[in-house]
Amino acid sequence: MALEGKTLKVCSCNGTIPLDAKRLAHALKAGQPLIVHRELCRKETGAFQAALADPDVIVACTQEAPLFSELAETAESKASLRFVNIREAAGWSEEGSAAMPKIAALLAAAALPEPEPVPVVTYKSGGQLLIIGPSDAAIDWAERLAGSLDVSVLLTSANRGELPAERKYPVWSGRVLKVSGWLGAFEVEWQQDNPIDLEICTRCNACVRACPENAIDFTYQIDLEKCKAHRQCVKACGEIGAIDFSRAAAPRKESFDLVLDLSREPLVRLHDAPQGYAAPGADPLEQALAARNLVALVGEFEKPRFTQYRERICAHGRSGKIGCTKCLDVCSTGAILEDGDYVKVEPHLCTGCGGCATVCPSGAMTYAYPRIPDLGIRLKALLSTYREAGGENACILVHDLEAGQNLVRAIGRRAGFGDRGLGRKGAGRGLPARVIPFECFHVASIGMDLLLGALAYGASQVRVLATGREADGYLAALRQQMGYAQSIVSALGYEGDHFALIEAGDAPALEASLWKLEPARTVDKPATFNLSPEKRTSLDFALDHLARQAPKPQEAIRLSAGAPFGALLVNKDTCTLCKACIGACPESALLDAPDYPRLRFIERNCVQCGLCVNTCPEDAIRLEPRLLLTAQAKEPVTLNEAEPFNCVRCGKPFGTKPMVDNMLGKLGAHSMFPDAGHLRRLQMCADCRVVDMMENKGEASIFDYIGRK
């Protein structure tokens, strides 16, 4: 069957998926009848093989994707294969017979073009591994891995074990000061805190024999709790000089490709540790799994560059004043650092959560895997096909590609079956027919632009599945974004609970949450726009559409602190119109006026970063979080204006009267302005001040002080 130039192969999985070929073909706007196979992966594989002559083939089965891929490879087919799950996601459900609109939506989304590839980040690892930890575990794993990797060992304590008889790899000891970097580029800094330097030690055992307290074992480290300071070991070591109790060791630093941290507590305390770093703790099984994974990390590797950053509209800082820090606060990998007035992203540390783009109010940080427009196109295709096929009250269930996807599929496997089940129910109910799974790389990347965009496209609700693997900061950020979005749609009269997290660690908990949901009100006429690469543009489109169709139209909606929309309140009594706030604003929300001293403001541009508040020398500005929905939001409005001050010498306007009066009031008692003449100079323009100074030859200048001591 042709579907936008693609061939579709659908199977009922031995009759367990209730499929109506005519209704499905109509929903997909097929120009020819749809054939529903029953055993495509067994007796009917010939039908699949025949389709391999076509350029693009969509197979409505994910379980047998390896088999179909192998058949295509054997046939040396050049067909592009895609696999989509309609079984656990739709057909295997208590409402499977009503799931045809969802099945059509899933198939239509699978027919969309692949997103454009994104730039990649490259890692190069030569297999240089540093094992950090107590002597017994560290030496044991060094012996096991020395044949596969270029091993080095850093002993953090000498509790048990022996150094190997052969010096096959470097062994150091000390206290770790810092572990930084990523796969292929780690730097480890430590300071030796044991009197025996293992690099110098010849392992001759002279110190072991000489120690009267048996404080030295075959790790060649001194147990300082047992040592009574006889220093017999120092004498025994002699000219080798490996033992020095008075050594003031300087920190050492070495580079490695991989790090196996066997410390009781990880040295890198991040929710998402860098690739190439493993901290399995004391569990032998976890240590073995970590070792196996590290052995595989030798060679060259690539991953997507998950984010894009445009410093021009970043609201982090201006002129040393700090505004927005949301991306810095939410990042769980340490990939985002301050860089003067801006931030910088280290792509090798970024794991692609997208939380930074979610919380970024300006859109300076954007998510690229996939890009928001690509997610929007998929969301729009799902909802439009679902609606045209007769579906109602669609609930988008956002989940990640691993734990979340597994839970969704587990729900389907728990459900009752179709005609082959003879009416008997399984252990669960499956997904409700109106719940449409929507996968993404990481759920933290779902921001207000997608949430409000989904509602504008006709979704009744959006639920984001958190499986317990997400950092707490990401969940807090999602709740906050959902709170802003819910406040807006509730104020507009859209009744119900539209946006929420579902925190479920197993299939029964997720299933129970989904079946309890009551549909929420959505738009009567879905939007036709596409989401933009510009976050603020997407939000404008979605908000304008929701406002036009609102059951209860509003002019302004109050929002909680931290919202990315709002007004500014200016104290006209203290504002001098110095215009420092205009220079600080990165979003062009604050504007000058060419013909008069005036402070103007475009509310829709404001992201409430607070840079103007922190920059204002008179503390005259306050933030007012709200969403203005009238045309005025996009037009400049005057926040303050003042009478211009004219130069007392030439009459040219050069400032405002409040600013000059404020300056005279503050400097009137200063020693540099001892008389009225000096103060009068403050009332002159820049050119006239120079002329006035040149005309007063009797005044002291800096040249009068040259040579004085």
Gap between the Cα atoms of 368 and 225, Å rounded: 55
Gap between the Cα atoms of 527 and 458, Å rounded: 7
H helix runs in 616-675, sequence order: 657-667
Report how many domains make up the chain. Answer: 6
- CATH code of 362's domain: 3.30.70.20
- CATH code of 603's domain: 3.30.70.3270
Query: Both 134 and 214 in a single domain?
Result: yes
Answer whether residue 691 is part of any domain: yes
| Per-residue pLDDT at 175 | 93
Domain that holds residue 424: 372-526+541-547
Confidence (pTM): 0.89
Gap between the Cα atoms of 217 and 158, Å rounded: 9
Query: Both 417 and 521 in a single domain?
Result: yes
- First-residue to last-residue Cα distance in the chain: 95
Last residue of a domain, one of 301, 329, 351: 301
DSSP letters spanning 401-426:
TTHHHHHHHHHHHHB--SGGGTT---
Query: Both 52 and 141 in a single domain?
Result: no
Contact 441, 470 (CB under 8 A): no
Contact 674, 696 (CB under 8 A): no
Last residue of a domain, one of 84, 115, 149: 84
Gap between the Cα atoms of 80 and 58, Å rounded: 8
Strand 590-591 relative to strand 598-601, pairing = antiparallel
Contact 95, 433 (CB under 8 A): yes
Gap between the Cα atoms of 284 and 23, Å rounded: 56
- Tell me the Ramachandran region of residue 453: left when phi exceeds 0, alpha when psi lies from -120 to 50, beta otherwise: alpha
- CATH code of 457's domain: 3.40.50
H helix runs in 535-684, sequence order: 535-548, 580-584, 611-615, 657-667, 676-681
Tell me the C-alpha to C-alpha distance, in Å, between residue 282 and each of 137, 141, 261.
9, 12, 10
Looking at the DSSP assignment, which residues form a beta bridge with residue 557?
627
| Per-residue pLDDT at 418 | 41
User: Is residue 182 exposed (0-12), middle (13-18) or buried (19+ Cβ within 10 Å)?
Assistant: buried
Gap between the Cα atoms of 650 and 170, Å rounded: 80
Gap between the Cα atoms of 651 and 261, Å rounded: 74
Those residues of the chain that have pLDDT short of 50 are 1-2, 417-423
Answer whether residue 104 is part of any domain: no
Gap between the Cα atoms of 628 and 566, Å rounded: 7
Contact 656, 643 (CB under 8 A): yes
Query: Both 293 and 311 in a single domain?
Result: no
Look at residues 460, 472, 466 and name the one whose alpha carbon lies nearest to residue 446.
Answer: 466
Answer whether residue 182 is part of any domain: yes
Maximum distance among all Cα pairs of the chain, rounded to whole angstroms: 111
| Per-residue pLDDT at 419 | 43
Query: Both 445 and 573 in a single domain?
Result: no
Gap between the Cα atoms of 139 and 157, Å rounded: 12
| Per-residue pLDDT at 261 | 98
Query: Both 336 and 384 in a single domain?
Result: no
Gap between the Cα atoms of 115 and 381, Å rounded: 14
Query: Both 144 and 288 in a single domain?
Result: yes
Q: Dihedral sign, CA of 251, 252, 254, 258?
A: negative
Answer whether residue 353 is part of any domain: yes
Tell me the C-alpha to C-alpha distance, in Å, between residue 86 and each of 27, 481, 708.
15, 31, 89
Query: Both 191 and 293 in a single domain?
Result: yes
Query: Both 230 and 318 in a single domain?
Result: no
Answer whether residue 560 is part of any domain: no
| Per-residue pLDDT at 417 | 45
| Per-residue pLDDT at 421 | 42
Gap between the Cα atoms of 479 and 468, Å rounded: 15
Looking at the DSSP assignment, which residues form a beta bridge with residue 157?
134
Contact 399, 463 (CB under 8 A): no
C-alpha angle 188-195-269 in degrees, rounded to nearest 5:
30
Chain position carrying tokens 């008389």: 675
H, E, C per residue of 111-132: CCCCCCCCCEEEEEECCEEEEE
Look at residues 456, 583, 576, 470 and name the one whose alpha carbon lies nearest to residue 522.
Answer: 456
H helix runs in 575-671, sequence order: 580-584, 611-615, 657-667
- Indicate the residue type of 129: L
Query: Both 142 and 253 in a single domain?
Result: yes
Looking at the DSSP assignment, which residues form a beta bridge with residue 186?
256
Gap between the Cα atoms of 228 and 565, Å rounded: 68
Contact 287, 262 (CB under 8 A): yes
Answer whether residue 511 is part of any domain: yes
Last residue of a domain, one of 301, 330, 358: 301
Looking at the DSSP assignment, which residues form a beta bridge with residue 628?
556
Answer whether residue 237 is part of any domain: yes
Query: Both 637 and 663 in a single domain?
Result: no
Query: Both 514 and 581 in a single domain?
Result: no
Answer whether residue 115 is part of any domain: no
Gap between the Cα atoms of 579 and 658, Å rounded: 13
